[in-house]
Amino acid sequence: MSKIKFIKTESDYKEALDLIKVLLSHDPDPSSDEGEQLSLLSTLVQDYESRSLPESLPNPVDAIKFRMEQSDLKPVDLIPYIGSRGRVSEILAGKRQLTLDMVRALEVGLGIPAKVLIRKPEIESNSEYQGWDNRLVAEMESRGYFGSRSLKKHSKLELLKDFFSSISAQPQMAMMLRKSNYRSSPLTDKRALIAWSNRVIQKAKKIKVTKKYKDGSIDLNFMQEFVKLSSQENGVILAQKHLKDIGIILVIEPHFSKTYLDGAAILVNKENPVIGLTLRHDRLDNFWFTLMHELAHISLHYNQDISLFYDELEIASAGLDEKEQEADELAEESLLPKAKWEVSPARLIPSSMAANSLAKELGVHVAIIAGQIRHKGNKYIYLNKIISEAKVRSYFANEKWNK
């Protein structure tokens, strides 16, 4: 796409997505020319998607329950809008449809749009599955998410219902959507993130873990010692095993084409938290920073009412919510302590000799230090050889890596 233009065709759409990916990698200032281009392209892509993809509205019962959760309401609090305790119970169970008077009262009293409330409840929420992008479902099929079943012999609805039924189906998917923290581009398909995280959970369930995670096991001291595994030849595999020994499951699952996901901390099962990594960048420094970031979420946010932290780490740190800033700070301190960085020659001279010296002092792989030097000093033209030679995907050869 030589210039930004109105998106009319699928080809225009793909070109726009490619250009957005390039702009995101530059992490532009919002007020810069590139930042304004990114904002404009995002608007154009969202407009195209709203025109080309059908609107998907939530189930009215799910919408009421979501508003109850947001406002900390109990079923008894719905009596003024619905009528009686018995009717409230029937409505929330999907056994009775809302009347017009109920719809009007709920729209005025709770702010739930009437167009959502007047839809007929669907016990299996078929409409939610129907709204999934066909391209996303085709990608799920190509990655084996549906086993031997295919779109040639089964409908999209059948495949999605079967896929999600393996982890408690729609209720868990809805919960995950409500209790998720997103560090992501506006263009990221959140349904792709949900499909990805459910796949990670499926993989995690197949891993036998004998120990339950104990809250407080992860702290700065643990992380600084843990990252020293990186200095060993098979440090990536040792890290996976060590986490399993303390009740944390590390799963590798490549990202979807319309996401820029690096990793996620999944706290659906508090007894055995799951960390999912995509290895979107085949770099050891990226592996360790992402892993430390997700461990930081477990350390800092384990007891908060969030089930999932999705992290596209190239999103600019400026403007991030407090939880993401905290996780960034703890991850960076675990990899390269501020006190060490402030007095290191590498701070002034980003050379391979300085990087190796600092890595040896800290007992970690030099690629980690090289990555931190580039990040802290905003000097991404340096130390390319160290960064590019330290690969990580080869340790997980069974995965189907995106080209």
pLDDT at 276: 97
pLDDT at 367: 96
Strands 249-252 and 308-311, bridge-based pairing: unpaired
Please answer whether residues 252 and 279 qualify as being in contact, where contact means their C-beta atoms are separated by less than 8 angstroms: yes
pLDDT at 12: 82
pLDDT 10s per residue in the chain (403 long)? 446 777 878 788 778 877 877 776 776 776 777 877 877 887 777 677 665 544 555 678 878 887 787 677 889 999 999 989 888 988 887 777 788 788 888 988 888 887 778 765 444 445 567 778 899 999 999 999 999 999 988 888 889 888 887 654 444 555 555 678 889 888 888 889 999 999 999 999 999 999 999 999 999 999 999 999 999 999 999 999 999 999 999 999 999 988 999 999 999 888 999 999 999 999 999 999 999 999 999 999 998 888 899 999 988 776 778 999 999 999 999 999 999 999 999 888 889 999 999 999 999 999 999 999 999 877 788 899 999 999 999 999 888 876 5
pLDDT at 177: 57
pLDDT at 122: 46
User: DSSP code of 75?
Assistant: G
Q: How many CB atoms lie within 10 A of CB 230?
A: 25
Spatial CB neighbours of 342, under 8 Å, sequence gap ≥ 6:
none
SS3 content of the chain, % helix, strand, coil (to 5): 55, 5, 40
Q: Rounded to an integer, what distance in angstroms lies between the CA atom of residue 378 and that of residue 325? A: 18
pLDDT at 171: 44
Let me know the angle formed at the C-alpha of 52 by 51 and 58, rounded to the nearest 5 degrees. Answer: 80
Q: Rounded to an integer, what distance in angstroms lies between the CA atom of residue 230 and that of residue 368? A: 8
User: DSSP code of 143?
Assistant: T
Q: How many CB atoms lie within 10 A of CB 144?
A: 10
pLDDT at 170: 44
CA nearest to 131, candidates 45, 63, 191, 64: 191
pLDDT at 371: 95
- Reading the block at residue 127, the tokens are 């409409």
- Reading the block at residue 273, the tokens are 């938290």
Please answer whether residues 81 and 109 qualify as being in contact, where contact means their C-beta atoms are separated by less than 8 angstroms: yes
User: 44-60 as b/e, with b when 16 or more CB fall inside 10 Å?
Assistant: bbeebeeeeeeeebbbb
pLDDT at 166: 64
Angle between helix 366-377 and helix 322-335 axes, rounded to 10 deg? 130
Sole residue written with tokens 């060490």: 340
Strands 274-277 and 249-252, bridge-based pairing: parallel
Alpha helix ranges (H) inside 206-278:
220-226, 235-245
Using only C-alpha atoms, what is the Rg of the chain? Answer: 23
